[in-house]
A and B are shown apart, each in its own frame.
Chain A
Amino acid sequence: MANSDTHVSRRDVLRDGLQMAALLGVGGLGGYLLGKQGRRDLLLWQIDPYKCIACGNCATHCVLQDSAVKCVNSFPMCGYCDLCTGYFPPEPAALNTAAENQLCPTGAIVRRAVEEPYYEYTIDEDLCIACGKCVVGCAAFGNASLYLQVRHDRCLNCHECSIAVACPSQAFVRVPASQPYLFKHRIRPA
């Protein structure tokens, strides 16, 4: 009996020692990470518009039925063109401003005459499906002021964004929550 008691207590001592070691290990790891230099904001997903090729995966690969990615217009970059090639199909033969002649499959781009002869294009985000057709059109013949961004009121901030996995241009990057958008500049940053 006495023999088995010492046996058990030896086990207990060993266990306590290991427990302390494990606690120190976990604490040390936590402390190291806490003390680590660098950005400690939560990270969110965003699209680098200078990498994105508007391949269309953003429309189909988001875990949300209605993709969290939407098109945005950078108003200071926009040419406010009448014949917007993001709004109308960029085909020279068919290029006209007929109402039914829209590029966007869902009619998400709202065209509004502002100062003559300019037209302002805004996106109805409830309609936009992030197919990127307008992005390609605008970049091909316009100022490339239309581009895709993750909208943080919709995005669930998946730990591994399914679009990022499917993005062929590695345009999905993690940005700190304090600066959640990568808006386009009129002057392209170096």
Chain B
Amino acid sequence: MQLLDSQPWSRCRPTEGESLRALPSGAAERGGREAGGDASRFRIQRPRASLWAVVIIPALAALLLPGGSVSGEERFPPPDFTYHKMPETPAPAPDSPLWDLIDTAALFAALMVATYLALSRRSRNGLLILAGLSLLWFGFQREGCVCPIGAIQDVAEAACNVHRAVPITVILFFTAPIIFALFFGRAFCAAVCPLGAIQELMAIRPQHIPLWLEHALGILPWVYLGLAVLYAATGTAYVICEYDPFVAFFRRSGATSMLIFGACLLVIGIFIGRPYCRFLCPYGAILGLVSKLARWHVRIPPTHCIRCRLCEDACPYGAIVAPPAPLSPGERRKARRRLVLFLAAVPVWIVVGAIVGRMGHATLARMDYQVRLAGWIANEREIDPNNKYALDAVRAFENTGESAQKVFAAAAQRLDTFRFGSTLLGAWIGLVIGLKLVQLCTRTPRDDYHPDPRRCVACGRCFWYCPEERVRRGWITSVESVMPQGTAVAWTTPQTPSSKTA
């Protein structure tokens, strides 16, 4: 990128010589907005009238033809003022970088408070209040553009492009929630992310969706992640930000289509909890995956699970996993065989994905400006006359005076990049599908009801369902008062509840 001197006027001295000023016109000055607009203030230069006509007619003709440039040229040398002082072009300063520091500090503070509330205080109300505050601050006050979800793209672009680097605040915003998730689960999603918070507050009547659908849609965030990384790494677009559903609400202004999309998600979110988080958000997918490794993840019972099943349906996000029923040896053998089969299928998925991705590279590359421009230049006569964007793009290209060959070469290069990138993307999607199938036929032997760290956003809704939690809070004196005999899961052999999974 070419950086221009921010104070060009310091270098520009008006040239000497005759200044051609008042363009002649037959009309009398009837006073415009100018101060003291009396007629003597401008000169009528009759001899120049012909010049004016000579200049203006070809120029007008040029304007009417496509290809008018607005970079322009100097037709009237700027005057040498004797007493008038040229003003400076105002250059209002951007937001102080201090805001980024404040935001980073706020992020760390909110992450710590959320972790404390979710793991130590186990306070749903506290988490709700914090979510509300985050929504107000990161959402409505900072207008949703200090955002780890979008930072995925900066990081991807900086990692893949030698010319790009990211400021430290972006690195912190990207890594801090991941590191917290690595130890404590999705504290960020619980009460810090403004997108999560707005959906959390909307989840009033959450319904369960079938598990197969949950798993199938759960692949989407990974696909979206791959797409976003592809487009960011190639420097094409930041799709996550382009299609951020709630940022228009945070700004209380935005494109109508995005406002409608956001409103739809919010309405859906009343019945299907956190639709964006669960089925689109790529950052949530990363956080969920690393949460799997968290040592101190949110637990439903404060101490140990008595398998009362009271929490079974508590989670609006379908994150609560029941202890798996023991399998008969025959079933076990079958399950093992299926696991081996699906493991063996992973490379096949990858290869198939890569092939499909490679085939689709031209479609994906259509998002790229160079590729589109090359297409329009090549079929200039066939551009849809209603496609103002294409017409303008071709006009802008003509203004640059560059040769079409150069654009074609650049587009060909972009296509090559996309061929490579789409192959990787396809392989990635294949990998995701393959691993998802493998995951579906693995079982973790556990004997408690627990939140699946991948899906649990640590919202704290399930805490109150647990009688152990009620005892802890002193709401009831003993577990037996809420747990009638026989409600415990029957198929496990009676034993002292194990706390080793704590």
Contact = CB atoms under 8 A, between A and B. Distances in A.
Contacts of A16: 295
Name the residue among A5, A15, A55, A90 with the largest chain B CB count within 10 angstroms.
A55
B494 interface: no
B436 interface: no
Interface residues of A, number: 116
Contacts of B242: 160, 162, 165
Contacts of A142: 72, 75-76
A168 B94 contact: no
B31 interface: yes
A89 to B, nearest CB: 11
B69 A177 contact: no
Contacts of B162: 38
Contact of A143 (B26, B72, B82, B86): B72
Contacts, number: 329
A174 B12 CA distance: 26
B370 to A, nearest CB: 9
A22 B24 CA distance: 74
B400 interface: yes
Given A79-B75, A140-B59, A156 B5 contact: no
Given A19-B182, A144-B72, A181-B6, A99 B33 contact: yes
Contacts of B42: 82, 97, 116-117
Contact of B22 (A48, A117, A184, A189): A117
Contacts of A162: 242, 254-255
Interface residues of B, number: 124
Name the residue among B4, B84, B369 with the largest chain A CB count within 10 angstroms.
B4
Given A32-B159, A38-B164, A144-B70, A157 B396 contact: no
A119 B396 CA distance: 31
B76 A81 contact: yes
A90 B63 contact: yes
Contact of B27 (A51, A98, A143): A98
Interface string B55-93: 111011011000011111111111101111011111111
Given A64-B253, A158-B241, A97 B94 contact: no
B27 A54 contact: no
Given A22-B293, A73-B89, A141-B56, A169 B75 contact: no
A59 B175 CA distance: 37
B106 interface: no
B76 A144 contact: no
Contact of B12 (A41, A77, A144): A77
B25 A83 contact: yes
Interface in B1-52: 1-9, 11-12, 14, 19-27, 29-37, 40-43, 52
Given A22-B290, A92-B56, A115-B82, A98 B30 contact: yes
Nearest to B38: A113
Interface in A64-81: 64-65, 72-81
B438 interface: no
Name the residue among B32, B239, B388 with the largest chain A CB count within 10 angstroms.
B32
A44 B74 CA distance: 29
Given A15-B295, A180-B91, A96 B27 contact: yes
28 contacts: A19-B293, A26-B182, A33-B166, A36-B165, A40-B168, A42-B169, A53-B395, A64-B251, A79-B20, A95-B23, A97-B25, A97-B27, A98-B27, A107-B33, A112-B35, A113-B35, A118-B21, A120-B87, A144-B72, A153-B92, A165-B237, A170-B396, A171-B396, A173-B1, A184-B8, A186-B8, A186-B9, A189-B2
